[in-house]
Chain A
Amino acid sequence: MNSDLILVLVVATALVFDFTNGFHDTANVAATSISTRALAPRRAVVLAAILNFAGAFISLEVAATVAQGLVNSGAITTTTVFAGLIGAITWNLATWYFGLPSSSSHALIGGVVGAAFFAQGADAVNGQGVLDKVLIPALVSPVLAFVAAGLCVFTAYRIVGRERPGHVRRGFRVGQLLSGGLLAISHGTNDGQKTMGVIALALVAHGDISPVHFNIPPWVVVSAATAIGLGTYAGGWRIINTVGNRIHKMDVAQGFAAQGAGAAVILAASHFGFPLSTTHTTSGAVIGAGAAKRLSAVRWGVAGNIVAAWVLTLPAAACVGGLVYGFTRLFGRGALGPLVVAVVAVALIAILFARRAQVARAAPVTQT
């Protein structure tokens, strides 16, 4: 009975995380289209939500990586997964509050790894998996996207630099619809599956799935795809504003270059088996597209804050995941600890959203 209740709490928390993942990462796929007026804001967000939902059904490889490649699934308990999810949600909401694009994937991985480390020690963590699947792509993807977007802007300006602005704007806006669509689908493929992987991890710990004959049940796929789609539809407007306007003011060629380079990096990495953070990739591409035009066009202070959030994501989410696990153990091994944490978390989230709404009403520059 106790373990069933914890499993229900884990699944509900995972879906809440997936929702925060969606609205936190709406900026990755919609900000440039909105900023360059290729699409109206609500239309861009609806399109991103639909394509994210669809993308989550395309493959289950990333889900398997999260469930099997980073932690020793045999050593994981449902309480560990729950604590990791709370760590990830906490970091996602903290960065959203300050309008910073940070990696939901790294928050999730950090939370789960931190909780597993705290609960079972270093043996529960697959160090090589974390290096291969998380740390190396985290270093490579933003730099690669930065360089690729810069080269794309240079190429575009060389070819159409002397053409009439009206034609160029119309042409690249159509291009942005395609590159933005690809980016949204690839985002759904990557990020939708991470929650599926975590729910699968909890199901393994609960004994519903065999760690040997690993498969993701269809209800997990559908619920995770729905949660990320709804989250994307909710739209994290503060982060959209940061990515679309605060790093630098983009023209259509830069917007297309940023989206195209981001999609190319994500697809190339996925094809060769390197899962990466769509947030790092997209932000790197946006900064690269700005720097290619003029270095001073980029607000490096904002870019610095974003990079600082990236660096802090894994350790911060890991610390919160570990602390939450320790707190739940104060109440024993049963469901009481996770239940208390869930109630406190819901209350804190409600307060946070109410406070944010109050600030937004006072200064209505952005939506939620």
Chain B
Amino acid sequence: MIAIPLAAVDTTALLKVVIGALIASVGVTAIVALTVLGASRWEHARNRGDQVHAIAYGILATAGALGTVAAVVVAFVVMTAK
């Protein structure tokens, strides 16, 4: 007879997985999308000769790109730290 005590399932860890996965996936998507938005509008502003907006969107795109790289590094650290 196989005894399966359902109460022994670690629901706290499971909840952490759910929250961690949702935050990580939506967070990284938002960062990449903001990078794309920044790059797209930077080019548009530069073509119009709008220096102020070009600088602002350039900063957004650069920060987004750095954030994306940081997310990849964190993911790799999580993988190798098991």
List chain A positions with a Cβ less than 8 A from chain B. Answer: 55, 58-59, 61, 122, 125, 127-128, 131-132, 136, 140, 144-145, 147-149, 151-152, 155-156, 159-160, 163-164, 167-168, 171-172, 175, 178-179, 182, 185-186, 189, 253, 256-257, 260-261, 263-265, 267-274
**Cβ A131 vs Cβ B9 within 8 A:** yes
Given known A128-B5, A132-B9, A256-B32, contact A163–B37 (CB-CB < 8 A): yes
**Cβ B33 vs Cβ A160 within 8 A:** yes
Out of A122, A151, A156, name the residue touching B2 (CB < 8 Å): A122
Given known A167-B36, A171-B39, contact A265–B80 (CB-CB < 8 A): no
In the bound complex, CA of A171 to CA of B41 (Å): 13
Out of A147, A253, A265, A271, name the residue touching B78 (CB < 8 Å): A271
Dominant SS among interface residues on chain A: helix
In the bound complex, CA of A260 to CA of B27 (Å): 10
**Cβ B25 vs Cβ A152 within 8 A:** yes
**Interface contacts beyond A159-B34, A167-B40: sample of 6 additional A-B pairs, CB < 8 Å, sorted by A:** A149-B25, A159-B30, A171-B40, A189-B82, A272-B17, A274-B13
Closest to B3 in A: A127
**Cβ A163 vs Cβ B17 within 8 A:** no
- CB contacts (< 8 Å) of B5 on chain A: these are 128
**Cβ A58 vs Cβ B80 within 8 A:** yes
Out of B20, B40, B80, name the residue touching A163 (CB < 8 Å): B40
List chain B positions with a Cβ less than 8 A from chain A. Answer: 1-6, 8-10, 13-14, 16-18, 20-22, 24-26, 28-30, 32-37, 39-41, 43-44, 68, 72, 75-76, 78-82
In the bound complex, CA of A256 to CA of B32 (Å): 10
**Cβ A125 vs Cβ B25 within 8 A:** no
- CB contacts (< 8 Å) of A55 on chain B: these are 79
**Cβ A160 vs Cβ B24 within 8 A:** no
- CB contacts (< 8 Å) of B22 on chain A: these are 144, 147-148, 151
Out of B21, B26, B34, name the residue touching A269 (CB < 8 Å): B21
- CB contacts (< 8 Å) of B80 on chain A: these are 58-59
- CB contacts (< 8 Å) of B21 on chain A: these are 144-145, 148, 261, 264-265, 267-269
In the bound complex, CA of A84 to CA of B18 (Å): 32
- CB contacts (< 8 Å) of A61 on chain B: these are 82
In the bound complex, CA of A264 to CA of B61 (Å): 23
B28 to chain A minimum Cβ distance, whole angstroms, is: 6
B57 to chain A minimum Cβ distance, whole angstroms, is: 11
Q: List 16 A-B contacts (CB under 8 A).
A: A127-B2, A127-B3, A131-B4, A140-B18, A145-B21, A159-B37, A163-B37, A167-B36, A167-B40, A172-B32, A175-B36, A175-B68, A261-B29, A265-B25, A268-B21, A268-B24
- CB contacts (< 8 Å) of B29 on chain A: these are 152, 155-156, 256-257, 260-261
**Cβ A159 vs Cβ B33 within 8 A:** yes
Given known A131-B9, A273-B13, contact A160–B25 (CB-CB < 8 A): no
- CB contacts (< 8 Å) of B37 on chain A: these are 159-160, 163
Closest to A276 in B: B17
Closest to A136 in B: B9
**Cβ B24 vs Cβ A264 within 8 A:** yes
In the bound complex, CA of A270 to CA of B78 (Å): 9
